[in-house]
Structure 1
């Protein structure tokens, strides 16, 4: 078993109870262990639960943040900002529909237009395991995750005796890209200390047409963890971290002049407790995000815009483009969680409770002023019945009490809701090497900060979204299969659902500062699929395909911000210490749009054209623990843009509805070491 995923400690019980888990472990272990080949299309995974390592080399050029890494997983896209800090989208679903955790904790950005999305504070290579559960098919990690639940985790270091381990990487690339990262741990049988540190920076890039795209960034992160392991069944850990950075955005009226975060947490894990109670976990955490946006640090505000009379249509920031502007916001999040695992002959129950409070503030001329507070208290439980070696049934239920406070000069407002969630899923392992599943889930999602506070109006013009916006209710069916045999592996993951009171944002086509949060009913469906085949002893191929579809059943229009059909085809050659891979990414045009509708970060402002991009890489294993790799992204220097995009900002001379183009030909080289 791989680190961080121990088998049950009571080995006297029949292992057939855990037969349903074995296909997942079998698929995951090579992903974590094998770093010889650069991933280009899709990692090995169970169709419902993706488990991979963010340390696994990948193309295009290694990620600068969490969202940048996620877009390589089929089903993910991102609302593009330019160079970094995009906003992740899974199956066309955005924002708090996707729960994002780091080591079980949550950090929430503070910008009303999500300039600092939660993934902006995540450096992927600082984590060992990335786990994604698609759809409402788990209830253990918080409320409202209708699109999926995503966890970046560091594996607990394990030292039988005094020792040290280190993983380090260096990256250099076009446009001044420079990355350094290191993760080192030392300890013995009684405890450990682990440090993770990284820095990433780049200048503005040029698109395939040679035009400069404002996109530079400079970010750093540092984390420290101390662990105490008095025996093999007990682990206590204290962690703390800090980070900061700045980023230029071609599609916004201001840039991220400060993206600062602080974190503090403590975890306790006790396993092998008794015959029935097998494991107890407890956690508390604190996170703080302090964000400054302005138009003076990374750009010149005095430059005459090509399109006077507007700032950023997507984020709704008003004001005169020539004027110097600055805004400072922060958010403090505290949370706690406790869970127990009970084992019987053919059953496993994981149950517990969690809570979270987060407070948002804005700096005014008279100092910091609190404007919003959210609280959530939840109870959850998931029961697995291992019926036999081939069949298992998993079910879960969750109940949350969510409260929100709005602080305003006209008076404080409060609203609350009780939110149920649940799912049931059947998994079957056939005698042939095939796993398939089918499940149905339901969840209710409380409107988040961006939906309640950023828009100027609620469902009815002139109303306050805080008073009138309803909770979102999703019912979704998920099915999938995975087949592995004779050098071939193939998988399929499909879904169909109905969302009552789906929350979308409408924009006034005349005034960028006017936006409206509304509830509509919607149908959604889509699928991801992939395959890999060993063509010959040294040649193998892999491919993936992802499609998402949504419809507003009230007016018959498409749901906005839906990514188009996206295909990736890879061909790899391996010989002793060498490997080489070519990647062809083909994306269809998107004609199904809802003009001037979207979310708080972006909107549909035009249809988009399809494109195909060719990239390649080569890797050489210098020694057992040293690898050198290099690659070229967009070999043909194609000029193209993603459909999920922000309209170019007039302060940089872009027309109001011009999409921000992707980088042109990009070269990069990377050195990885582990010792």
Structure 2
């Protein structure tokens, strides 16, 4: 909840992101975007002028606007985020302490589709593998959507109303966040509603991108004693009439229920300092259909984590266990006959059990190390792999499809995976900080990569049950410096991947195999406070990805991008302008090229987009904002946006054209 001493950073309308001052020994790649205070950049960087003021469709759009993060668009919402060229289950995304896995095999509903910025207090972004606490894998990074225990001060209640409107697609959203209680306990209710129509792109063409969204969240907390507190939450998200022109199917509905129990206990004296227990369950139902096929699907996830904190030998320790089970089922039926024709997920069951240990020690004022290790056991199976779907010559079992594609009939898989990281930070003279991180992370194949069994006239899309898990070995170096009026940081990283899971095309069929790959890139950030009230900031991100077996490019790799922003603050007003430059991407693996058979739709041209906005602070916690996105009505597409897996003609959804928008946030 808000009502803290710093200015608003993120509400449902995403007014402004202002980077807060942090300690020199903080984590350089952990970004916290908070609802009630300035976001926290854990690095030797103080102020930054990175802003995200526009109305948002969901959490995926929020992530898309952060440096070093890109996304894939198939419609007006549900943008699927990519961090440093890694995507889907290469990212760990947790909602209020638990996992939610979408119910669409084609990623119409990534976990971020079931989030809105106004329903969470903090969004934490950890780039790369820098922690072992939040689950297996996470080679690309970890994103935490989190809620806090409200701070009531003397009022006994908190209330916030926020919302926004966008002219291009008549998008509107409204969030009410209400809480009552004290330090001893609280009740909190968050209501969100929003919808949008089709938008116009920069060419003036209409893009089918309508949607309706609503969510209700109930939270409660109680202090059981001076050292123990219990929190419970339940959220229900309902999406309707969601258009996906990039998927050749739409979604009449996509609903999710998410429940969480959290127990926290502080120990009095001794080595052990605290205990955290999280239990969660998420149930997702999703329907995708077109004129010929209708496909209902479900994804149910349950799990938990036990985390202990301790202090011993001048070292802070975190250790514990986590478990997760995800069950997915998806069938496709003919609309006319109602006959099941193939199984996209043949009753898939995936289980994970993990043990982890993480430690941090500051040897003196200039040296700090942090390290972690985790072990995970994976079990995966498909319970309906031997069930026949379809009729006549088109009838087949999933096992028969796996056998035809890979010569595999055993659908069960077990893995024992070991990962970890080591990070060293050194404080140099003249406010310079050097940090290096070496890590290994292991990601198991997801339900689609292992078990999808689409068998249709348009082409097959067949998973590989015996895929080896990906092994990511990453090295990162970062140099940063900060002073009162100037701060910057440079990062370079290399990720050598064994058994990278490649999705590839053969004629009109889609398959998976393991290859050797590499990802590497560089990021730079600079902020300059050159005159009173004036701030200039820039963010550069560059990335490459290669198939080491063939020397060809990997698909869906973001082109170079540069975001420059100039802002001026006077009294209650803040004026800002952004110039987003994105280079052409010619280093591609095209889906239409038989020699590569990748996932790229085309070679995308570069573009430049200008955004302008102004903000007025009514009070410490209430603001009004107005702006124009894409001022010059530029026609462009995100390179990572992809076509339907078996589309006859590749389609890349274009981004919205010029759009006027308004935002407000009122605190009571």
* TM-score in terms of structure 1 length: 0.85
8 Å CA contact retained: 1:442, 1:474 = yes
Distance 1:361-1:551 versus aligned 2 partners, 3 A rule: same
Q: Which residue of 1 aligns with 2:198?
A: 204
- Counting matched residue pairs gives 612
CA distance in 2, matches of 1:596, 1:638: 26
Match of 1:434 in 2: 432
Matched, 1:108 2:101: yes
Q: Secondary structure at the match of 2:187?
A: strand
Kept in 2, the 8 Å contact 1:376–1:402? The answer is yes
In 2, Cα distance between the equivalents of 1:648 and 1:569? Answer: 33
My pick for the range that moved more, 153-162 or 115-124, is 153-162
Counterpart of 1:117 in structure 2 is 110
Alignment of 1:162-241 (within 5 A): 163-174=156-167, 175-241=169-235
Superposed counterparts of 1:319-330, under 5 Å: 323-330=291-298
* Structure 1 residue 456 displacement after superposition: 6.0
Contact 2:3 2:621 in 1 (8 A): no
- Conserved in 1, the CA contact under 8 Å of 2:274 and 2:309? yes
3-state SS of the aligned residue for 2:642? coil
- d(CA) in 1 for partners of 2:354 and 2:582? 40
Deviation of 1:390 (Å): 2.4
Shift of 1:455: 6.6
Q: Which of 142, 146, 149 is the equivalent residue of 1:149?
A: 142
The equivalent residue for 1:579 is 574
Deviations, residues 75-103 of structure 1 (Å, cap 9, x unaligned): 11111113111111111111101000012
**Residue in 2 aligned with 1:336?**
304
Q: What is the RMSD computed on CA atoms of the aligned residues?
A: 3.0
Q: Is 2:219 the partner of 1:251?
A: no
Quick check: 1:113–1:454 contact (8 Å CA) kept in 2?
no
Q: Following the alignment from structure 1 to structure 2, what is the Cα–Cα distance between the partners of residues 630 and 542?
A: 21
The residue that corresponds to 1:382 in the other structure is: 358
Deviation (angstroms), 1:572: 0.3
Corresponding position of 2:55: 62
Alpha-carbon contact 2:9-2:17 (below 8 Å) kept: no
| Superposed displacement of residue 647, structure 1 | 3.3
Aligned-residue offset at 1:527: 1.8
Q: 1:179 to 1:546 in 2, by over 3 A?
A: same
Structure 1 residues 668 and 130, CA gap change in structure 2 (3 angstroms): same
3-state secondary structure, aligned to 1:481:
strand
- Aligned-partner SS, 1:491: strand
Q: Which runs of 5+ in 1 are unaligned?
A: 6-28, 296-322
Superposed CA deviations along residues 559-606 of structure 1, whole A, max 9, x for unmatched, are 1110100110000011000110000000000000012299xxx92121
SS at match of 2:118: helix
Q: What does residue 640 of structure 1 align with?
A: 636
Q: Which residue is equivalent to 1:485?
A: 483
SS of 2:421 mapped into structure 1: strand
- 1:238 Cα deviation after fit: 1.1
Is 1:132 paired with 2:144? Answer: no
Aligned-pair distance for 1:344? 2.6
Hey, what's the Cα distance between the residues in 1 that align with 2:585 and 2:8? 35
| Larger RCO (alpha carbons 8 Å, 6+ apart) | 1
How does 1:621-632 map onto structure 2 within 5 Å? Answer: 621-632=617-628
Q: After the TM superposition, which residues 493-504 of structure 1 pair with which residues of structure 2 at under 5 Å, given as runs?
A: 493-504=491-502
SS in 2 for 1:293: strand
* Alpha-carbon displacement from aligned partner over 1:115-160 (angstroms, at most 9, x marks no partner): 1111111112211111122212211110011111111111111346
Give CA-to-partner distance per residue, 1:264-323, whole Å, 9 cap, x none. 11000112432311110001111011001123xxxxxxxxxxxxxxxxxxxxxxxxxxx3
Kindly state the Cα deviation for residue 640 of structure 1 after the two structures are TM-superposed: 1.4
SS of the counterpart of 1:554?
Answer: coil
Partner of 2:43: none
Contact 2:358 2:370 in 1 (8 A): yes
Q: Aligned partners of 2:452 and 2:385: how far apart in 1?
A: 17
Quick one: structure 1 residues 466 and 660, their matched pair in 2 at CA, closer, same or farther if it must change by over 3 Å?
Answer: closer
Secondary structure class of the residue paired with 1:605? coil
CA distance in 2, matches of 1:638, 1:69: 21
Q: Which moved more, 1:176-185 or 1:572-581?
A: 176-185
Indicate yes or no: 2:348 matched with 1:372.
yes
Q: Distance in 2 between matches of 1:3 and 1:181?
A: 14
Structure 2 alignment gaps of length 5 or more: 39-49, 388-409
- After superposition, the Cα gap between the structure-2 partners of 1:263 and 1:650, relative to the gap in structure 1 and judged at 3 Å, is closer
User: Which residue number corresponds to residue 290 of structure 1?
Assistant: 285
The answer to whether structure 1 residue 528 and structure 2 residue 532 are counterparts is: no
Shift of 1:409: 5.1
Aligned equivalent of 2:563, options 555, 563, 568? 568
For residues 434-485 of structure 1, the C-alpha deviation after alignment (integer angstroms, 9 at most, x for no partner) is 333101000111101121123769xxx9997443311111100122233210
Residues of 2 paired with 1:532 and 1:248: CA distance?
A: 39
Does residue 618 of structure 1 match 2:614? yes
2:535 to 507, 532, 540: 540
2: CA distance, partners of 1:534 / 1:97: 37
Offset of residue 394 of structure 1? 0.6
Distance 1:186 1:634 in 2: 41
- My pick for the range that moved more, 407-416 or 420-429, is 407-416
Q: 1:597 and 1:543 mapped to 2: Cα distance?
A: 36
The 5 A counterparts of 1:427-466 are 427-454=425-452, 465-466=463-464
Q: Is the alpha carbon distance of 1:177 and 1:32 closer, same or farther for their aligned partners in structure 2, counting shifts above 3 Å?
A: closer
Between the aligned partners of 2:605 and 2:581, the Cα distance in structure 1 is 11
Please state how far the C-alpha of 1:507 moved relative to its aligned partner: 2.0
What's 1:9 paired with? none
Please say if residues 579 and 618 of structure 1, whose CA atoms lie closer than 8 Å, have aligned partners that are also in contact.
yes
Instruction: Give the one of 390, 393, 404 matched to 2:380.
Output: 404
| Contact residue 450 and residue 466 of structure 2 kept, 8 A | no
Distance 1:38 1:530 in 2: 21
Is residue 183–residue 194 contact of structure 1 (8 Å, CA) maintained in 2? yes
Q: Does 2:91 align with 1:98?
A: yes
Q: Return the offset for 1:166.
A: 1.8
